Amino acid sequence: MPQRNVVSWNSLIGGLVKKDGVFEAMEAFRIIQGKGLGFSWVTLTTILPVCARVTALVSGKEIHAVMVKSTAKPDAPVLNSLMDMYAKCGAMDYCRRVFYGMQSKDLTSWNTLITGYAINGLMTESMESFQEMICSGFSPDGITFIALLSGCSHAGLTDDGCRLFETMKIEYAVSPTVDHYACLVNVLGRAGRIEEALEIVKNMPFKPTGSIWGSLLNSCRIHGLVPLGKAVAKQLFELEPDNFGNYVMLSNIYASAGMWESVRTLASFKSKIHAFVAGGSNEFLNSAEYKEVWKRLMEEAGYVPDTGVVLHDVNEETRAVWACGHSERIATMFALINTGSGMPIRITKNLRVCLDCHSWVKIVSKVTGRVIVLQRYKSFPPFQRWDVFL
């Protein structure tokens, strides 16, 4: 284009975000700022969720500073995005300050605050904000109750969760969706009230989805219910045959019960499932095959580890070793060595993926031409994140 304006850049950033090019979107935003092209509220409403997704708190604060310096008054959607960014980065003090500094709040503002408290384990504050919202004349919607029910599940507030589920129908005329039922099943299952959870699944006006069966499978894992876990997993395998998180969950149930033969049988049932932990797999890491492939990859990619992701008081050499020993890297290398060149690689991780591992997997995907699906598995519905690289 001979000339580019803010609208052009907004379109580019929006397209990158839609295609999961989160880091490219952030780089495009930096270019806008470097060129002094300014921004619109649409720009910030688009880029702030990117900061939230990769927990880039510093970048989010920089954007907040830009907003404060602006002579224009930010609208509710951009302030809601700012709140959401702070909440998902764990900075609830900032989220709360933005909320109470807003002159005009809408239902999304309240839902963002309530959800923020819930996902950060602050259920007392979340429930208090819910009551404050009601007193302010706002009526809750389905999103409000998903946040509260999910929070109750993880905080062990079983009775409060059940009461909220009934309240949403009777007092607020909010019709429960399948996601609300999934949250309720999770609330009961985590508390060990499996029979009640099964009754909910049996009598609810929806056909059970993968998220509902997934909640039950996670409850079976927590409470060591092998026979039920096996039956629930069978339903999940039919609904989600490509979701390897389900196979990992059942494998964990078998392993916890010491049923190693079942673990081995499952590993050959649907492709191969292998588990890795950070700092583990020393025999594999020291193998000649691993060292050869690693050296070739790093030479082709020109990769240098970002040792800043290692938050320990050790020397730089040790930091580099530890950074390269994260479980998703070990899993990726194992798959590259032990699978065919055209086969996609699917990796499930139970924790957040660090920024350097995210960049490393992306580089490896480009160098090898392999599709790499990196999934962060979360046990409660309806939230699940996938990163697909090619």
Which residues have C-beta within 8 Å of that of residue 265, sequence separation ≥ 6?
A: none
Give me the pLDDT at residue 275, please: 64
Give me the pLDDT at residue 332, please: 84
381/179 Cα distance (integer angstroms): 7
122/149 Cα distance (integer angstroms): 13
Give me the pLDDT at residue 308, please: 57
For the record, the structure tokens of 350 come out as 């139970």
For the record, the structure tokens of 356 come out as 């350097």
52/62 Cα distance (integer angstroms): 13
Residue indicated by tokens 């240098």 = 304
pLDDT 10s per residue in the chain (390 long)?
666 666 766 677 777 777 777 777 777 777 776 766 666 777 788 888 888 887 888 888 988 998 888 888 888 999 999 999 999 888 999 999 999 999 999 999 999 999 999 998 899 999 999 999 999 999 999 999 999 999 999 899 999 999 999 999 899 999 999 999 999 999 999 999 999 999 999 999 989 999 899 999 999 999 999 999 999 998 988 888 777 778 888 888 988 888 888 877 776 555 555 666 655 666 777 788 878 887 787 777 777 766 554 444 545 555 555 556 677 888 888 888 877 666 777 777 766 677 777 788 888 888 888 888 776 644 333 333 334 444
> What are the phi and psi torsion angles at 148 (to 5°)?
-65, -45
3-state helix, strand, coil in the chain (%, to 5): 65, 5, 30
Give me the pLDDT at residue 86, please: 94
3-state SS, residue 335: helix
Contact 182, 165 (CB under 8 A): no
Q: What is the pTM of this model?
A: 0.66
Which residues have C-beta within 8 Å of that of residue 13, sequence separation ≥ 6?
A: 25, 28, 29, 43, 46, 47
Give me the pLDDT at residue 37, please: 66
Give me the pLDDT at residue 196, please: 95
Cα 203 versus chain centre, distance: 30
Terminal Cα distance for the chain, rounded:
27
Residue indicated by tokens 């007392």 = 124
CB pairs under 8 A, 24+ apart, for 343-346?
A: 343/370, 344/370, 344/371, 344/372, 344/373, 345/370, 345/371, 345/372, 345/373, 346/242, 346/244, 346/373, 346/375
Helices (H) and strands (E) in the chain, counts: 21, 3
For the record, the structure tokens of 76 come out as 């509710």
- Residue 73 DSSP one-character state: P
Give me the pLDDT at residue 228, please: 94
